[in-house]
Amino acid sequence: MPLATYKDLCIDAVDVPTLGRFWADALALDLELHDDGDAKLTGATDRDTIWLNAVPEPVTVKQRVHLDVFARHVDDVLALGAVPEDLASFPWKVLRDPEGGELCVFEREELSERRLMEVVVDCADPDPITTWWADLLGGVRRDDEQGRFSWVEDIPDAPFESLVFVPVPEPKTVKNRIHLDLFADAPGGVDALVAAGATVLRAEDDEIGWTVLADPIGNEFCALVR
């Protein structure tokens, strides 16, 4: 039995209305602005939900977590307010969103209802952390034949194809601006996640109804008990 189930995705933003509109249009979702300064992107099902959380810190370093998206043409995403980073080196196009966060665009002539392709995580060594997340979420681990990266696919309830782990030389230095929210479904709830190797960063309290954790290599995620 998986220890957790995918709930939704969260993106930090300094300018929530601007970044929220960008991601709503890029992912074909609806934007709801909230009085508390946050925003919610909604789609056909609850699992398509993405939260925009207001933060004071701007993007200062390369994001260790970024989104890959589908589009008919990269110009469609550039027209929404992205800027080009690298349009020639890869089969995909590397852009920056209106706040400077990286994203990759995969062009397709035919688009499905869902535009979010995958969530990509930088790490020192993909091998152990890919297995950890596959076990946590009940997904299937896969490895690139050339050993360049690993990923988890067939994640129950996830509105994207895979969670990808790519090796990079630089260490994690700041809080990730993109993270997953999960339901802690296994017996023991959050304690089961901690026993599996997660670390509690902030326990549920009077202000928040969830627990903030980090995976074994420091990537933040939140867990709720239902």
Q: For 93-105, what is each residue's pLDDT tens digit? A: 999 999 999 999 9
pLDDT at 88: 98
- The pLDDT tens digits for 32-83 are 999 999 999 999 999 999 999 999 999 999 999 999 999 999 999 999 999 9
What are the CA-CA distances from residue 68 to residues 59, 74, 152, 209 (Å)?
18, 12, 15, 29
- pLDDT grade, residue 202 (50/70/90)? very high
Which is more confidently placed, 197 or 147?
A: 197
Query: Which of 121, 28, 107 is closest to 66 using CA atoms?
Result: 121
Integer CA distances (angstroms), 18 to 23, 49, 139, 160, in order: 9, 18, 34, 23
* pTM given for the model: 0.97
Q: How far is CA 70 from the centre of its chain?
A: 15
